[in-house]
Amino acid sequence: MNHLKNNVLYEKDIQTLAMDFLTVAQKAAIASYPWIGKGNKIEADGAGTEAMRNQMNLIDMSGLIVIGEGEMDEAPMLYIGEELGTKNGPQVDIAVDPVEGTTMMSKGQDNALTVIAVSTKGSLLHAPDMYMHKIAVGPKAKGSINIDATLTENMKSVAKALRKDVRELTVMIQDRPRHDHLIKQVLDAGARVKLFADGDVTGAIATAIEEIDVDILVGMGGAPEGVIAATALKCMGGDFQAKLAPQEPEEFDRCIKMGISDPEKALTIDDIVKSEDCFFVATGITDGMLMRGIRKRNDGLILSHSFVAVGGNSKHYQFVEAFH
């Protein structure tokens, strides 16, 4: 495998690593599959995490988890600062969520998936597992969002970029009391709201896929998912802005210790993912808006459905169906 030159991944490295990480996502999703509808989030996360860690350690890379689901003492999660891979090959930053939507999965509901974002070393936002304000749009609305503006103002700007009437917009928002003010702005503008229960990575990516009727994703959710979604949208030509949302002084202090001098600063997609040499992979665990879930066939084969978005010079995305 080619090595880094001036901390930039060669195109060959990106393509090869993306396929290696596709295998990681597939194995994690398949390992989590037996726990669908079993009401046990911890076991589901543990199974996905173990499979993910084991497979990543086989990859020729020096990988570092820069934002994930917790710290070292909160196993079974892949913890912030964990090093993975054979230590041969490219140096990369990794953001992961072995089971995005664990609650939904434990209840047998839709939209649970395994997600991973990878970029060159030092290029992904290094932040604690905390809340983050987010707004995401697809390629046609790139440059039209402002995290400091109201949702009403953003809707007007996005509608103009998309050459739509504001009333034609569809805005995805997580169904939480903290988002009531956002839902009201959408309805007051005469636009459509699309509520979802958990997991906002899918909604962010949906804004960049023409066939899915979602124009904006907005709301406050997990920072790891924000970094992962921003990576996917960077690969797809979309746009993403965010602001970390410390809920207590300890979180604010941890941001400072991790090198974030202004924890509440507005972050552009280029602040969150500083390199074009990045990629995103996801595999469905249960059926969702983007992908079908894991299927076990009568002949013993397991069918997986995945999504891969690659940045660099060859920006593209593809759906991958595989038998295991």
DSSP annotation of 317? E
Radius of gyration for the chain, computed over Cα atoms and rounded to the nearest angstrom: 19
Q: Is 97 annotated as a binding residue?
A: yes
Q: Is 177 annotated as a binding residue?
A: yes
Q: Is 69 annotated as a binding residue?
A: yes
DSSP annotation of 4? -
Q: Is 49 annotated as a binding residue?
A: no
DSSP H stretches of helix in the chain: 11-32, 41-56, 102-106, 151-162, 180-188, 201-206, 223-236, 249-257, 269-272
Q: Is 163 annotated as a binding residue?
A: no
Q: Is 178 annotated as a binding residue?
A: yes
Q: Which two tokens stand for residue 186?
A: 């959408």
- Strand 192-196 to strand 170-174: parallel, antiparallel, or no bridges (unpaired)? parallel
From the number of C-beta atoms within 10 Å of its C-beta (0-12, 13-18, 19+), residue 148 rates as exposed
Q: Is 222 annotated as a binding residue?
A: yes
> DSSP letter string over 28-83?
HHHHHGGGTTSS-HHHHHHHHHHHHHHHHTTSSSEEEEEE-S--GGGTTSPPTT-E
Whether the CB-CB separation of 267 and 243 falls below 8 Å is answered with yes
> Which has the closest alpha carbon to 100: 73, 133, 68?
68
Q: Is 131 annotated as a binding residue?
A: yes
- Measure Cα distances from 153 to 142, 208, 214, 218, 296 in Å: 15, 20, 18, 13, 47
Q: Is 53 annotated as a binding residue?
A: no
* 3-class secondary-structure state, position 110: coil
Q: Is 254 annotated as a binding residue?
A: no
> Which has the closest alpha carbon to 137: 182, 203, 183, 181?
203
Q: Is 200 annotated as a binding residue?
A: yes
Which residues are known binding-site members? 45, 69, 97, 100-102, 131, 176-178, 198-200, 222, 225
Which residues are known binding-site members for Mn(2+)? 45, 69, 97, 100, 225
Which residues are known binding-site members for substrate? 100-102, 131, 176-178, 198-200, 222
